[in-house]
A = this chain, B = another copy of it.
Amino acid sequence: MGIHTFFTSLNDLERIIRAPGRFKFEEHNVAAHSWKVSQYAMFFATIEERSGKEIDWKSLYEKTINHDFAEVFIGDIKTPVKHSSPELKEMIARVEEGMMEKFILREIPEEFQATFFDRMKEGKDETTEGRLLELADKLDQFYESFAELKRGNADPEFVKMYRIALTKLLHIPLEASVSYFKEVLLDDVISEETVIDVREITRQVLQE
């Protein structure tokens, strides 16, 4: 019943834990994740802008803060599920979309429905902003798995998550950002003392 419902539902995302079920040294919620993504994206957009790309800041802002809002409906589906088959992944995407449509039609005042449909649609498209979102979202997965490996979490899922995130990061078609990530940031990351040998895992991924 209006924007008030939307605003209070934001609060629910502070209670949705990412990667539920799994043992983790640090728990993260979807609201905080969204904020970190918006921070990473702003930094790399700055890099891209300096390298000559034009940034549509409004679009980037919209994409980053809204990209996981749909989790308010179904929670954070455990990642291995999402990755287990393209068919399952699509099914889940359709469930989320259906819920989102329903929510907008029922809760958002008519005058704002078009805006919400636009803002809440899948943000990871072929635009520079879509790619920055993709990079920032992967970077948070990279950091979340890194933090577990650093503290000695031996659950193989986190090694896998780290490898997948790193591999994807290295292939996002944003030259300046990926280059900065690879040549500057990654260096600082792997010079940290870690319980599990992240430097070696990183070296392997870089060689592949």
Contact = CB atoms under 8 A, between A and B. Distances in A.
Interface of A: 1-8, 10-17, 20-23, 25-26, 28-29, 31-32, 34-36, 38-40, 42-43, 46, 55, 57-58, 60-62, 65, 72-78, 80-81, 84-85, 88, 91-92, 94-95, 98-99, 102, 109, 112, 115, 139, 143, 147, 150-154, 184-185, 188-189, 192-195
A188 B20 contact: no
Contacts of A192: 154
A174 to B, nearest CB: 16
B73 A99 contact: no
Contacts of A43: 3, 6-7
Contacts of A10: 35-36, 39
Contact of A14 (B15, B32, B150): B32
Number of identical monomers bound together in the oligomeric complex: 6
A94 B20 CA distance: 20
Contacts of A38: 35, 38, 61, 65
B185 A2 contact: yes
A65 B42 CA distance: 10
A62 B66 CA distance: 16
